[in-house]
Structure 1
Amino acid sequence: MKILFILLCVIKLISGTPTPIVLWHGMGDTCCLSFSLGGIKVFLEKNIPGVYVNSLKVGNSSIEDLENGYFMNPNQQVEYVCGLLAADPQLKDGFNAIGFSQGSQFLRAVVQRCGHILPKIKNLISLGGQHQGVYGLPHCGALMHPTCDYIRQLLNYAAYENWVQNALVQATYWHDPLDDETYIHKSIFLSDINNEIMANKTYIQNLNNLDHLVLVKFDNDTIVQPRETEWFGYYEPGQSKKLLPLRETKIYTEDRLGLKKMDKEGKLILLSTVGDHLRFSDTWFIDNILKPYLLN
C-alpha cells in the first residue's frame, strides 16, 4: 500500500504541479499556528510534494483570525475569502478545498456564492461541518467556560435577535427545530445558503459544478449537536428527538441544493470515522481523503 502511494505521488509530480489546497479552520482555531491548521498545512506539504496550501487567515493576524471565528459576520467572512481566493495567482488553474467544522459550511458558501467567478473548485471536503446547523453547544473550542456559558445562554434564548445574529458567528447557524419558521426567516446565513427562503439557481449550479462534495461525520462527536448535521441530516421539524437522515430531509427530497442530483451522479460522498470532533488518524486521512480526492 505504501509503495502504491509513493508511485501515485511520483506520477503526480511527473504529470505536473499538484492541485493546490485551500483550508478553512473551525471555531476556536486559527489558520497558521503549528498546533492548529499550520500543522495540517505541513502534513499536506509533506505527503503531497510540491503542493501549494493556502490556510485562510481572516484578518491581519492569527489572533484576529481566531476572534473573527466567533465575532465576524459569516457573510462578511465569505465575501472576504472570495476576494482572497480570486486574487491568489497560485489558484488560477483550480484547487481543492477542505473545511474544518464551521469552516466547512463557510467554504460551501464560498462555492455557492462565488464559484462562478473563481477558478475551478474540484473537491470540497467537509470535516465535521454543521450543514443543517446546530441545536446545542456542549463545548466552545478555546474559550474559557464563563464565556462559553454566556454564548450558550445567548443562543438558547436570543439566537434570532438581530444584534445576536450580527455579533455572534455561531448564532448564524443555530437551527431551532421547535421554531423552524423563525429560523428560516431570521437566520442571516444558514437558511440562505441552504436555499430555504427561495431557490437560488446559482447556488445549485455552483455546488453541482464540484467534482465531489465529501461529507465526513465523526461517529462519537461530543461537540456538534446533532452530529447528523455533518451529513445534512437534522431533527424533524417541530421537535428535537427524532432525527431525519439526509435522504429524508426536505433539503434533499425537494432538491433545494441539487444534493439528490449529485447523489445520483456519484458526486456526493458520505464518509464517517470513529472519534470525537475532528479526531482522525493520519492513516485514515491519507486513505480516505488524500489519495482519492487530493491527488488529482
Structure 2
Amino acid sequence: MDKSFKRSAIFVTFTIFFFTPVSISVPFIHLHGINDQCSSVEARSFTQLLRNLSSSPGYCLEIGNGEKDSMYMPLMQQASIACEKVKQMKELSQGYNIVAQSQGNMVARGLIEFCDDAPPVLNYVSLGGPHAGISIIPKCPAGASYPLCQLQETEVYSDSAQEISEYMEHSKFLPKLNNERPNERNSTYKERFTSLHNLVLVMFEGDTIVVPRETCWFGFYPDGATAPLLPPQKTKLYIEDWIGLKTLDDAGKVKFVGVPGDHLEMAHDDVVKYVVPYLQNQLSFSS
C-alpha cells in the first residue's frame, strides 16, 4: 500500500476519533425543603428516584448541618453556601439542572440570580416553591411567640403579608430575590434568570402549607389587599418583568403545572411526566 495513502488513512482515523461529538447527561442537584436534610430517608429516596428515572447523575446539596440550618440559617447565607459548593463541584462545571422542593426553591433561585462566576443552570424544576411569598406562616398560629415563627417573619414569610412598606423595609431576602425594590433593581438577576432553558413551576392543588398555593406560580394578592388572588400574569412582578418571568414565558420556556395532592405529595406518574423530562437533556462537545 502506498505510504502516503497509509498516512492519510491514519490521519482520517485520528481526526474522526478525536473530533467526534460526544454527548453526556446533564447532572442535577436536589435542594430539599425546610426541616429536612440530605441524609433523611425522604431526601435520599427522592434523589435516588430522580437518578433512576432520568439516568442522569444527581446530588442532594446540603447546606450546613441540614435540618437545623434549614430552619435557622438566614436564606441569603444558605444561598451563598450553595453557590460556593456548586462552584467547587467539577461534575457541574459545564452546566447543571436543579430540582428544588418547597423552601429549597429560595436557595435555588438565590443560586441562579446571585451566584457570581458559577456554571450555568439549564433547567429548573420548582416543586411547591413560595416564590411570591405566603400569606400565613406554616403551622404557626396567629400571634405565636415561637422563635421559629418569629425568625420566619424576617425571611420569606410574614403574618402581615400585605403591610407592604414594612415588608419592603424588614424582609431581608424575598424583596431582593424578586427584584421588588424600585431603587435597587438589578438587571443581572433578571439576565441570569432569563438564561434558563426551561422553568417548570409545579403547584400542589391541595396545598395546605404554602398559602396561597398560586405563589408556586408567582401568583399573589394585589399590594395592600388579601383579595382577589392574582394569577402570575396579572402581578406587577410579571407585567414589569422584574426578574424576567414574562420574558421566559413569552419565549415558551415556562411550564405552569398543577398536580393533585397536599404539599409535596407528588404521585410517581406526575414525577415521570413533569420532572424527569427536564433531567434528560444532554451536553455535547468534541472529544
- Which TM class, normalised by the smaller chain length? 0.7 to 0.9
CA distance in 2, matches of 1:17, 1:229: 35
Q: Do the aligned partners of residues 24 and 153 (structure 1) sit closer, same or farther apart at CA in structure 2, a change above 3 Å counting?
A: same
CA distance in 1, matches of 2:131, 2:144: 22
Is 2:10 the counterpart of 1:19? no
> Which one-letter code corresponds to 1:53 in the other structure?
G
Q: What are the Cα deviations for residues 41-75 of structure 1, in whole angstroms up to 9, with x where unaligned?
A: 111222233x221201112xxxx310111100111
Give the secondary-structure state (helix, strand or coil) at the position aligned to 1:136. Answer: coil
| Equivalent residue in structure 2 for 1:265, among 228, 238, 251 | 251
Determine if contact 1:70/1:170 at 8 Å carries over to the other structure. Answer: no
Is 2:52 the counterpart of 1:46? yes
Q: Do the aligned partners of residues 250 and 138 (structure 1) sit closer, same or farther apart at CA in structure 2, a change above 3 Å counting?
A: same
| Alignment correspondent of 2:162 | 178
> Which one-letter code corresponds to 2:224 in the other structure?
G
Q: Do the aligned partners of residues 177 and 73 (structure 1) sit closer, same or farther apart at CA in structure 2, a change above 3 Å counting?
A: closer
Determine if contact 1:185/1:191 at 8 Å carries over to the other structure. Answer: no
| Alignment correspondent of 2:43 | 37
Question: 1:232-247 alignment to 2 at 5 Å?
Answer: 232-247=218-233
RMSD: 2.2
Moved more, 236-245 or 105-114: 236-245
Give the secondary-structure state (helix, strand or coil) at the position aligned to 2:163. Answer: helix
Identity %: 32
Give the secondary-structure state (helix, strand or coil) at the position aligned to 1:153. Answer: coil
1:112 Cα deviation from its structure 2 partner: 0.4
CA distance in 1, matches of 2:85, 2:43: 18
Q: What are the Cα deviations for residues 171-209 of structure 1, in whole angstroms up to 9, with x where unaligned?
A: 311243431111112110001111111210110000001
Determine if contact 2:28/2:98 at 8 Å carries over to the other structure. Answer: yes
CA distance in 2, matches of 1:248, 1:154: 35
| Equivalent residue in structure 1 for 2:213, among 227, 234, 240 | 227
Task: Say which one has the larger Rg.
Answer: 2
1:92 Cα deviation from its structure 2 partner: 1.1
Unaligned stretches of 5+ residues in structure 2: 1-20, 282-287
Is 2:276 the counterpart of 1:290? yes
Determine if contact 1:218/1:274 at 8 Å carries over to the other structure. Answer: yes
Question: 1:162-173 alignment to 2 at 5 Å?
Answer: 164=150, 168-169=151-152, 171-173=154-156
CA distance in 2, matches of 1:125, 1:23: 10
| Alignment correspondent of 1:8 | none
Moved more, 278-287 or 203-212: 278-287
> Which one-letter code corresponds to 1:52 in the other structure?
P
| Alignment correspondent of 1:11 | none
1:16 Cα deviation from its structure 2 partner: 3.5
Richer in helix (by share):
1
> Which one-letter code corresponds to 2:86 in the other structure?
L
| Equivalent residue in structure 1 for 2:193, among 188, 192, 207 | 207
Question: 1:87-236 alignment to 2 at 5 Å?
Answer: 87-114=88-115, 116-139=116-139, 149=141, 153-154=144-145, 164=150, 168-169=151-152, 171-175=154-158, 176-197=160-181, 198-236=184-222
1:87 Cα deviation from its structure 2 partner: 0.1
CA distance in 2, matches of 1:94, 1:243: 36
Determine if contact 2:98/2:123 at 8 Å carries over to the other structure. Answer: yes
CA distance in 1, matches of 2:220, 2:54: 36
CA distance in 2, matches of 1:44, 1:290: 7
Determine if contact 1:222/1:276 at 8 Å carries over to the other structure. Answer: yes
Determine if contact 2:137/2:157 at 8 Å carries over to the other structure. Answer: no
Unaligned stretches of 5+ residues in structure 1: 1-13, 140-147
1:22 Cα deviation from its structure 2 partner: 0.6
Structure scoring higher RCO (CA < 8 A, sep ≥ 6) equals 2
Q: Do the aligned partners of residues 131 and 91 (structure 1) sit closer, same or farther apart at CA in structure 2, a change above 3 Å counting?
A: same
Determine if contact 2:113/2:189 at 8 Å carries over to the other structure. Answer: yes
Moved more, 224-233 or 24-33: 24-33
4+ aligned runs moved over 2 Å, structure 1: 14-17, 168-171, 175-178
Q: Do the aligned partners of residues 15 and 41 (structure 1) sit closer, same or farther apart at CA in structure 2, a change above 3 Å counting?
A: farther
CA distance in 1, matches of 2:110, 2:67: 19
